[in-house]
Amino acid sequence: MMRIVLLGAPGSGKGTQAQRLQAKFNVPQISSGDLLRDAVARKTALGLKAKAAMEAGQLVSDDIVLGLIRERLSQADAQNGFILDGFPRNSDQAATLSKLLVDIGQPLEAVLLMDVRTRTLIERMAGRRICKHCGKVFSVSALPSDMSCKSNSNGHELYQRVDDKEDVIAKRLDVYKSQTKPLIDHYSKLGLLKVIKGEGTLELITARMEAALAKSGSKTEKVKRKAARKTASNNSSVKPAAKKASRKKVAAKRKAAPVKKPAVVKKKKVVARKPARKTVKKSAARKPARKK
């Protein structure tokens, strides 16, 4: 189950990671901006309200956005979870969102914050070029040689968004920080916040997110895990006792009939092999994860 809110500065790679998680876990990425645009385009009741507010130069009210989120989460593809992006933007919205999610039986599991250094954010955004036709995003560090997108045979022209110029970026980041700080504090107090180091390869960052989510999980799951651990330790405490008993039997047999020595040797070998196999498996499993 993946019910998360994604937080991250512009350029933090939040959108890319959301897409990766969406594909991997088959849960929808729900952006408040997309919901609004979609509702306005489909002229739903909430969409018409939102349109009226925007045309009057007003902000779309939280009620409307929350209504859209409620509608969206009732759809079949959101029953395994969701990735919320762009909402909430402040702690009031966070509180009403939490209420709504509890109300519909889909409480928030975690809030992932993409943590990327300001210097890196500026580098990334200032180096971003976008295709005029298909909207595909390129990085200056990995630009096609003829500066065109290859989505069709003619090649598409690339441009730099006005708000991806360095002076504008710095301002955007300041705004983001001051807006997001209270939200981060809010979720931190609730114990929902997971800070994800957002630098490194895409695969590595996704792995960090998954690890953070695996650590969270619901309380009931934690209780279940604890119970499982107890039974496991109970079992393992039974095993040595059983081993001792069998060793005693073997020792007794040895005394009674020293001829059976080969059988005892075999058993010892098996016992010695087991831990050796385990360490091999562990290191083998770790290596590819590190490479990624």
DSSP state of 142: G
Judged by the rule CB under 5 A, the positions of this chain that interact with Zn ion are 131, 133-134, 136, 149, 151, 156
Cis ω on the peptide bond leading into residue 88 (within 30° of 0)? Answer: yes
CB of 158 to Zn ion, least distance (A): 8
Beta-carbon contacts of 123 under 8 Å, excluding residues fewer than 6 positions away, are none
89, 247, 253, 254: the active-site residue: 89
Note if 172 is an active site residue.
yes
CB of 164 to Zn ion, least distance (A): 17
Cα angle, residue 265 at apex, residues 262 and 266 outer, rounded to 5°? 90
Select 130 or 204, whichever has its Cβ closest to Zn ion: 130
Select 70 or 136, whichever has its Cβ closest to Zn ion: 136
Select 58 or 151, whichever has its Cβ closest to Zn ion: 151
Cα angle, residue 196 at apex, residues 192 and 198 outer, rounded to 5°? 150
CB of 177 to Zn ion, least distance (A): 32
37, 132, 161, 230: the active-site residue: 161
Note if 161 is an active site residue.
yes
Select 154 or 179, whichever has its Cβ closest to Zn ion: 154
Cα angle, residue 65 at apex, residues 104 and 46 outer, rounded to 5°? 100
Q: Dig out the tokens for 259 from the structure.
A: 């001829």
**Nearest Cα residue to 35 out of 4, 79, 66:** 66
CB of 133 to Zn ion, least distance (A): 5
124, 128, 129, 208: the active-site residue: 128
Active site residues: 14, 89, 128, 161, 172
